[in-house]
Structure 1
Amino acid sequence: MKVSVSVVTYQQASTVRQAVESVLEQQVDFPIEIIAGDDASADGTREALQQLQFEAPETVKTILRHSNAEDFGLTNVLATVDAAQGEYIAFLDGDDYWTDRQKLAKQVAFLDAHPDCVICAHRVQHLRKDGVRILSPNAPHGEGVYDIGALIVRNFAPKISTVIRRSALADLPEWYRLTSYSSADWLLNILAGRHGRVGFIDQVMAVHRIHQASVSANFGSLHMISDKLRAITALRSCLPQAARDLTRLERKLLWKRRIVRWSPRAFSVLRRLNGMARSHPG
């Protein structure tokens, strides 16, 4: 198996078919499998996944949990990763979708050509409910290869953009598997990045929906910052080579936390203006 695609879902009955079909429509000359994990949805998501499995039994496999772990979906993600058989693992949430039918082919070709890279990411478009589309704010300009420091500080690899060598996820530390972090996706990238470099393709190949049920919408800026500071503390134990970059990010987050505490409204306005500078309608 060349590529396993981890698709995780929770209460996404209205969008999960589009997500899975965007994988099934990939134009590749290598075998792929879809490992769809559902976190005890009660809105018809499970039934939608079962129907998709019925329609494409040779490709779609399901892991249907009977209780929600309430850990930002980490248990669900890890279940799909542990079940994966592919040389590479790609990631997708049930409310997002891929837009380029050559996405997997391009990323696999990049990783095959760059054995020093363990991750390949690309630019993502964020779609708001009002139809405004925002390009990834932290993405590099131009195709390139980056070290783990850039990944730590810039966080330019959204989950739905990444294809990761499965071997780079074989030794995830116990603290990651057992602790709930809202920044779990970022942490997964960093932990994989211990084993090599990160490739970036400067093309928009996926859409991420921004809605009120998202982690970032519900968890709040101050809590998100505090959670990432806690994650940095955990990373120091297994990333001594990146101590300087972790400290740099820590200082940036401490500065942001001071602003949020001083004036949450001012921080919200700054974020909105930053998003408007990168957005366009339609």
Structure 2
Amino acid sequence: MNNTTNTPMVSVCMITYNHEAYIGEAIEGVLMQKANFPFKLIIGEDHSTDNTRAICEKYAAKHPDVIELLPKEEINLGMMPNFIKTLKVCKGKYIALCEGDDYWIDENKLQMQVDFLEENEEYSLVFTNRHILNPSGILSNSIGTIDTYTKDDILKGFIPWTQTILLRNNKIIPSFLRKHNQCPSGDRLISYICSTLGPLKRLDNITAVYRDSGYGVWSSIPVKDKLKTSTERYIDFINMVKPNNSTELINLKINKAKLEFLRKKPISYIINMIYDNIFTKRTSFTLFLFNSFTKKYLKS
């Protein structure tokens, strides 16, 4: 049960835009939490064109001690500015993340994660496994392979699953996000800055559902473009944070992307491409792989 207080132990940061079909389930996942500490849900509704705000207003009116719906803006701010604005209002010792089209399914999620961070001060962030719900209503799982992640893992491309994250509130986080507000991957930036403060812990529990609805920021990107987009976003991120091994990391990512690109193509396509590029054009196989990806995919 949540207790009323001016300073909650956990602030739940929830940004939402045009989520009328989903926002109720996202809010209910927070309200159902059983914890021996106070928590508060901060909703940043970004000038939706559907009934999202009206739904949020009803919940906020019914649960004024738990929900704070931020004032309506005159314009749509966009995902990153809205995220930064909402995050700044979060005053809890810890911050949990859940966007308005995802939802929690474990009523003990916050208690379990707070207990871990309270007992393990060296960690900066804790996350869990999750379900993925596709547009057909079929569930699959995202299950991690290791328990502890470091800055090196984030720099190599790993991102904890956003809707499962609980992190230590630190004043440097909003300023870091503002500095890099052109980056479309707020979850990657959050994970990186936290990893500079301490390792990240994965718990085995499945506590949340990521909704691959086809309408979210990432899920709305066509499948054929996701590899290109994820690679470009990763390169932009590396160029922003500028680690000493930037070139090595970017080359590693491009090589992985090339192999993934070819893996998803039919064998007949690959055979024809190999024939055209090796036997017809006398191009080396290595150069063929590079050209076929960068020219035909990344720069398409």
User: What is residue 172 of structure 1 aligned with on the other side?
Assistant: 176
Q: 1:170 to 1:67 in 2, by over 3 A?
A: closer
Give yes or no for the alignment of 1:32 onto 2:15.
no
Using the size of structure 2 for normalisation, the TM-score is 0.78
Give yes or no for the alignment of 1:46 onto 2:53.
yes
User: What is residue 251 of structure 1 aligned with on the other side?
Assistant: 251
Q: 1:263 to 1:124 in 2, by over 3 A?
A: closer
What's the CA shift for 1:106? 0.4
User: What is residue 188 of structure 1 aligned with on the other side?
Assistant: 190
Pick the aligned partner of 2:105 from 88, 99, 104.
99
Whole-angstrom CA distance in 2 between matches of 1:263 and 1:101:
40
What's the CA shift for 1:224? 2.6
Q: 1:45 to 1:255 in 2, by over 3 A?
A: same
Query: Aligned residues: percent identity?
Result: 23
| 1:215-254 superposed matches below 5 A | 215-219=217-221, 220-221=225-226, 222-236=228-242, 240=243, 243-244=244-245, 249-254=249-254
Q: 1:206 to 1:190 in 2, by over 3 A?
A: same
Paired residues of 1:7 and 1:92 also in contact (CA < 8 A): yes
User: What is residue 278 of structure 1 aligned with on the other side?
Assistant: none
Whole-angstrom CA distance in 2 between matches of 1:252 and 1:151:
14
In the TM superposition, what whole-angstrom CA distance separates every residue of 1:119-148 from its partner, at most 9, and x where no partner exists?
A: 0010011110112222116x225xx33322
Q: 1:99 to 1:261 in 2, by over 3 A?
A: closer
Farther off after superposition, 92-101 or 247-256 = 247-256
Q: How many residues align?
A: 255
CA RMSD of aligned residues (A): 2.4
In the TM superposition, what whole-angstrom CA distance separates every residue of 1:189-218 from its partner, at most 9, and x where no partner exists?
A: 111221111111011100010021123334
Residue aligned with 1:7, SS = strand
Whole-angstrom CA distance in 2 between matches of 1:101 and 1:132:
22
Q: Which structure shows the bigger proportion of residues in strand conformation?
A: 1
Structure 1 segments unaligned to the other structure (5+ residues): 268-282
Using the size of structure 1 for normalisation, the TM-score is 0.82
What's the CA shift for 1:258? 3.6
| 1:36-115 superposed matches below 5 A | 36-63=43-70, 64-70=72-78, 73-115=79-121
Relative contact order higher in (CA < 8 Å, ≥ 6 apart): 1
What's the CA shift for 1:154? 5.4
Structure 2 segments unaligned to the other structure (5+ residues): 1-7, 268-300
In the TM superposition, what whole-angstrom CA distance separates every residue of 1:208-256 from its partner, at most 9, and x where no partner exists?
A: 10021123334422123112111111111xxx4xx45x65642332124
